[in-house]
């Protein structure tokens, strides 16, 4: 049995052709519109997502204040057998902007002596916070958020275009079945 070679012709739905149906042109417009809107929606969603994450990170970094705390207690370096930690949980004490003395646990460099000072970050209310993100990590998060939002927005529009195209194809298949029934009736045969 010989294999039939299919030839793909780009843009065949747009060319003048006696075999081209109205449905082919409608499908071509649906595909073109879906891709165009997907690119636009993906771009808008990506920019909006990146801006919102960048603003949130800037707000977060702006409300954190560096301060120094006194180390009260700590685990010695390598307290767990066979494990060498760079940072350990330790009890620290600091005075906030209102003059209130606060005590809590924080991550400090392993091996720091009790009574020594360690840098900590607090919010405007005196609560202990983690260190703000470095600019490279913040940029990577903004890029990842923008890319993810852009992909999600574009894929959402493409999925909508695919659903519309499937509906057009289903309607065309139903029309084809009706036309076939009429043709079969004229030929004097039953098809169902």
What pLDDT score does 35 carry?
95
Backbone angles phi, psi at 125, to 5 degrees: -100, 5
Q: 170: number of CA atoms within 13 Å, CB side?
A: 6
User: pLDDT-derived band of residue 83, with 50, 70 and 90 as boundaries?
Assistant: low
User: pLDDT-derived band of residue 52, with 50, 70 and 90 as boundaries?
Assistant: very high
User: pLDDT-derived band of residue 160, with 50, 70 and 90 as boundaries?
Assistant: very high
3-state secondary structure of 61: helix
Least confident piece of the model among 28-42, 120-134, 177-191? 177-191
Q: Which residue has the tokens 């009574």?
A: 115
Neighbours of 34 (CB within 10 A): 20
Of residues 160 and 78, more confidence is placed in 160
Q: Are 103 and 92 in contact (CB under 8 A)?
A: yes
What pLDDT score does 2 carry?
72
What pLDDT score does 46 carry?
96
Q: What is the pTM of this model?
A: 0.66
What pLDDT score does 145 carry?
95
Q: Are 69 and 92 in contact (CB under 8 A)?
A: yes
Burial of 59 (0-12, 13-18, 19+ CB in 10 A): exposed
């Amino acid at each position: 049995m010989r294999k039939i070679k299919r030839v793909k012709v780009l843009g065949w739905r747009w060319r003048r052709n006696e075999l081209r149906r109205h449905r082919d042109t409608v499908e071509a417009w649906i595909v073109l519109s879906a891709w165009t809107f997907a690119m636009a929606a993906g771009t808008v969603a990506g920019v909006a997502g990146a801006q919102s994450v960048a603003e949130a990170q800037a707000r977060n970094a702006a409300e954190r204040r560096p301060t120094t705390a006194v180390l009260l207690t700590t685990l010695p370096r390598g307290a767990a057998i066979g494990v060498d930690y760079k940072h350990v949980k330790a009890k620290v004490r600091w005075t906030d902007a209102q003059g209130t003395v606060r005590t809590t646990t924080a991550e400090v460099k392993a091996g720091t002596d009790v009574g020594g000072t360690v840098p900590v970050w607090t919010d405007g209310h005196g609560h202990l916070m983690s260190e703000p993100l470095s600019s490279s990590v913040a940029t990577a998060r903004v890029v990842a958020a923008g890319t993810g939002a852009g992909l999600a927005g574009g894929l959402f529009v493409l999925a909508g275009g695919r659903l519309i195209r499937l509906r057009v194809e289903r309607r065309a298949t139903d029309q084809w079945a009706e036309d076939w029934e009429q043709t079969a009736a004229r030929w004097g045969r039953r098809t169902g």
